[in-house]
Chains A and B, each alone.
Chain A
Amino acid sequence: MATVVNPVAERENYLNQEYGVRSWLLTTDHKRIALLYLASITFFFFVGGLFALLIRLELLTPAGDLVQADTYNKLFTMHGQIMVFFFLVPSIPAVLGNFLVPLMIGARDLAFPRINLLSWYLYIIAGILMMHAVLTGGVDTGWTFYTPFSTAFSNTKVIEAGLAIFVVGFSSILTGLNFVVTIHRMRAPGMTWWRLPLFIWSMYATSIIFLLGTPVLAITLTLVIFERAFHLGIFDPTRGGDPLLFQHLFWFYSHPAVYIMILPSMGIISEIVPCFSRKRIFGYSFVAMASIGIAVLGFLVWAHHMFVAGMSIYAALIFSFLSYLVAVPSAIKVFNWTATLYKGSITFSTPLLYAFGFIGLFTMGGLTGLFLAALGVDVHVTDTYFVIAHFHYIMVGGAVMGYLGGMHFWWPKISGRMYPESLGRLAALIVFIGFNLTFFPQFILGYLGMPRRYWQYPPEFQVLNVLSTAGSTILAVGYLLPMAYFLWSMRYGKHAEPNPWGAAGLEWMTPSPPPTFNFEETPLVTWEAYDYGNIDLPKEVPVER
């Protein structure tokens, strides 16, 4: 394997090739677009996080004292909409996926660089629409837009928010389309399907969901907008329309959307675990096919969100069974990661700490998902904090942990600088503690019967709510810390080697940061992914202790 060295610090790369606002806003370089996305989703992450903190502050006391009920409805709606559509869905695909897909398969760029830039502009247009809706009164329908409340009763900015989510969905579709075509048509010579890094497999599975799921959400929201704006009656029960149909169409996208959030994180974990245990991943093909399996099964389980909505009990039984099936590929992944760690030469670096966090928290989120897939238990905990805790274990404990792990793992490649390792480990620990303190009490609250989406609650729930609010402030520190030291490292960090972790993968065979066209010459792949036993790589991760 050829070793690449950074001859001088100021070697020409994608960051210093051109300067100025124009060179960024009109770029078609996938790496620069990834950074544009990074800045935008970080902004929305903190906006969404601000709403979360306000929700937690309101719930510090049993009385509705900080905000009115109406305001509280808007807070949880906008927290959900911004976090789901403007942070979680685009987070890993649009930032790390954009940066890494061409690098990992040995391509110069994505197949459609201009469409890639277009997708970012669509995201920005959607973001402006969303922020305008937020600042001029907000939305109070819940992130789910349930009809007939959203179509006939809500007096808030439903049309604008719906339009924003329609446009941001179009942006996701274009990203997914770009990835599928790139993975099919742009692989370097020798990069066969079974040699692809598992991150690519997970991006492929995610993109399939983008392509097949997002349009259904788009048409559903279009019909809601038509109903509000032009008085069409497709979901209007007074004219024979069926609100349950809305729920079916909505969850047909929005359940697979959960896998849009978690699959990319799983891909990241599949990269980090082999690298920091110096072993080939256990059962490569099973991990790869589990991604595809999750994507396919994910389309067949949506109605488990509607068990108490009044649908047929026979349909509910089938959807319950299919929901259990999703546990199979998910468990394959968890077992294979742990089997990879077994007898590995493990280095407890920051990315691996996040990976450990992911594996544990995702397992808890996944297992509590089985509680919810069980018809009887679901009736007991529907619309309680148990559900909130469950999906935050998946979306925050899973997806965000994976995202942060990935950001640390590839930050040297992206920025060309090292982040401070000891601070990194500290932040990982703070996030883990803060997360569990925030969300574990919510499992208990939900099981005891505290319903979601209320701004006040009986006094006996206060202790657990105070714990949760305290945890959320710790979590906030854990999120601010990496942002601070990433920014710091861009100027003061140690220069990164091309391959600071001694990792396998094409992205580590080009300088850090990579040149504009990624590789000096098109690479020729002659090895299997993660073959740490046979590829000439250090036996231990060369990381500072």
Chain B
Amino acid sequence: MSDSPAIVESHNAAQQHHFADMEQQRQASSLGMWLFLATEVMFFGGMFCAYLIYRYWYYPEFAAGSKTLDIRLGAINTAVLICSSLTVALSVRAAQFGKRKLLVTLLVATILLGLVFLGIKGVEWASKFEEHHVPGYSFHFEPQAPSHPNTKIDPQRIQIFFSLYFAMTGIHALHMVIGVGLFAVLTFYAWKGLYNSAYYTPIENAGLYWHFVDIIWIYLFPLLYLIDRKK
């Protein structure tokens, strides 16, 4: 390795060789994470775009499909995720103050809340399989009386709603699984005491990712569960 004068000045073990100082490294990581989240917005954006168009075209079918979703479980899951965002936000604070035990506790709490969400989501998915609401050859849907007597419901088109339901919640759940894995790794390092007031970027960035996944759900919940629920 050729010697580089700038490295000699810094003492933080977490600093990488090609950065001039910790501040530059922190800013780079933070900008990188925000840009990554921008790509995620575009990634989910494709599905939200499809949702927008089809819901505009097939509103009665979307309403009928939406009513078969369990609003109670959806609401509980929303609450669970909001709580997990709180524990993440607190964990960043704990890392900044170098409180190792508190940090580990909060990260473990986040992981548990994430797992609760995934468990509930799994129960919901399983019931959809039992009701034959999964798009494909075994799809079957008995339309209840439509909310407006003049609207006809085409059972085939309800498959579009459920296709979007499974694609959107499925990819969201995949992001949750990745997030839980990420926090498991961070918990290990936090337990070993890697993070302190000078170096907490990984916690902060994982937190940003988690908040993003949370926000996606905040949109998914009303869009999928709360169509035409009045009365």
A-side interface residues toward B, CB under 8 Å? 12, 107-113, 115, 173, 177-178, 180-182, 184-186, 211-216, 218-220, 222-223, 226-227, 230-234, 238-242, 245, 249, 515-517, 521-522
- CA–CA, A237 to B18, complex, Å? 53
Q: Are B171 and A222 interface neighbours, CB within 8 A?
A: yes
Q: What B residues does A218 contact at CB under 8 A? A: 43
Q: Which residue of B lies closest to A518 (CB)?
A: B18
Contact of A112 with B2 at beta-carbon distance under 8 Å, contacts A214-B39, A231-B135 already known: no
CB of B198 within 8 Å of the partner chain: no
Q: Are A223 and B156 interface neighbours, CB within 8 A?
A: no
Q: What B residues does A234 contact at CB under 8 A? A: 50, 54, 160, 163-164, 167
Q: Are B43 and A215 interface neighbours, CB within 8 A?
A: yes
Contact of A211 with B32 at beta-carbon distance under 8 Å, contacts A223-B46, A234-B164 already known: no
Number of A-B residue pairs, CB cutoff 8 Å, is 130
CB of B97 within 8 Å of the partner chain: no
CB of B36 within 8 Å of the partner chain: yes
Q: State which of A107, A180, A227, A249 has its C-beta within 8 Å of the C-beta of B49.
A: A249
Stretch at the interface among B23-31, B79-87, B115-123: B23-31
Contact of A239 with B156 at beta-carbon distance under 8 Å, contacts A181-B28, A245-B50 already known: yes
Q: What A residues does B163 contact at CB under 8 A? A: 226-227, 232-234, 241
Interface size class of B (residues with CB under 8 A): 35 or more
Q: What A residues does B154 contact at CB under 8 A? A: 240
CB distance from A326 to the nearest CB of B (A): 21
Q: Are A517 and B49 interface neighbours, CB within 8 A?
A: no
- CA–CA, A215 to B46, complex, Å? 8
Q: What A residues does B167 contact at CB under 8 A? A: 222-223, 226, 232, 234
- CA–CA, A285 to B164, complex, Å? 45
- CA–CA, A515 to B4, complex, Å? 12
- CA–CA, A522 to B5, complex, Å? 9
Contact of A521 with B137 at beta-carbon distance under 8 Å, contacts A214-B39, A215-B42, A239-B160 already known: no
- CA–CA, A383 to B46, complex, Å? 27
Q: What B residues does A516 contact at CB under 8 A? A: 1-2
Q: Are A215 and B40 interface neighbours, CB within 8 A?
A: yes
- CA–CA, A423 to B74, complex, Å? 69
CB distance from A207 to the nearest CB of B (A): 9
Q: Are B27 and A219 interface neighbours, CB within 8 A?
A: no
CB of B126 within 8 Å of the partner chain: no
Q: Are A233 and B4 interface neighbours, CB within 8 A?
A: no
Q: Are A107 and B38 interface neighbours, CB within 8 A?
A: no
- CA–CA, A545 to B170, complex, Å? 64
CB distance from B171 to the nearest CB of A (A): 7
Q: State which of B18, B45, B159, B171 has its C-beta within 8 Å of the C-beta of A109.
A: B18
Q: What B residues does A239 contact at CB under 8 A? A: 135, 156-157, 159-160
Q: Are B156 and A215 interface neighbours, CB within 8 A?
A: no
Q: State which of B28, B45, B50, B160 has its C-beta within 8 Å of the C-beta of A185.
A: B28
Q: Which residue of B lies closest to A110 (CB)?
A: B18
Contact of A515 with B137 at beta-carbon distance under 8 Å, contacts A226-B167, A249-B46 already known: no
- CA–CA, A260 to B154, complex, Å? 43
Contact of A233 with B160 at beta-carbon distance under 8 Å, contacts A108-B18, A218-B43 already known: yes
CB of B35 within 8 Å of the partner chain: yes
Q: What B residues does A107 contact at CB under 8 A? A: 18
Q: Are A181 and B31 interface neighbours, CB within 8 A?
A: yes
Q: Which residue of A lies closest to B45 (CB)?
A: A216
Q: What B residues does A112 contact at CB under 8 A? A: 28, 32
- CA–CA, A115 to B32, complex, Å? 11
Contact of A212 with B42 at beta-carbon distance under 8 Å, contacts A234-B164, A240-B157, A516-B1 already known: yes
Q: Chain A CB within 10 Å — which of B39, B40, B49 has the most? A: B39
Q: What A residues does B43 contact at CB under 8 A? A: 215-216, 218-219
Q: What B residues does A230 contact at CB under 8 A? A: 135-136, 166
Q: What A residues does B2 contact at CB under 8 A? A: 12, 515-517
CB of B6 within 8 Å of the partner chain: yes
Q: Which residue of B lies closest to A231 (CB)?
A: B136
5 A-B pairs in the complex with CB atoms less than 8 angstroms apart: A115-B32, A211-B35, A211-B42, A230-B135, A517-B4
CB distance from A504 to the nearest CB of B (A): 24
Q: Are B4 and A108 interface neighbours, CB within 8 A?
A: yes
Q: Which residue of A lies closest to B170 (CB)?
A: A226
6 tightest A-B contacts by CB? A231-B136, A219-B46, A215-B43, A232-B163, A215-B42, A240-B157
Contact of A177 with B35 at beta-carbon distance under 8 Å, contacts A238-B156, A239-B156, A522-B6 already known: yes
Q: Are B31 and A232 interface neighbours, CB within 8 A?
A: no
Q: What B residues does A245 contact at CB under 8 A? A: 50, 53
- CA–CA, A180 to B32, complex, Å? 8
CB of B47 within 8 Å of the partner chain: yes
Contact of A220 with B46 at beta-carbon distance under 8 Å, contacts A181-B28, A240-B58 already known: yes
- CA–CA, A186 to B54, complex, Å? 45
Q: What A residues does B53 contact at CB under 8 A? A: 242, 245
CB of B17 within 8 Å of the partner chain: yes
Q: What A residues does B157 contact at CB under 8 A? A: 239-240
- CA–CA, A227 to B47, complex, Å? 14
Q: Are B156 and A177 interface neighbours, CB within 8 A?
A: no
Q: What A residues does B20 contact at CB under 8 A? A: 522
- CA–CA, A245 to B54, complex, Å? 10
CB of B44 within 8 Å of the partner chain: yes
- 0/1 interface trace, chain B 130-161, chain A, CB 8 Å (1 if under): 00000111000000000000000010110110
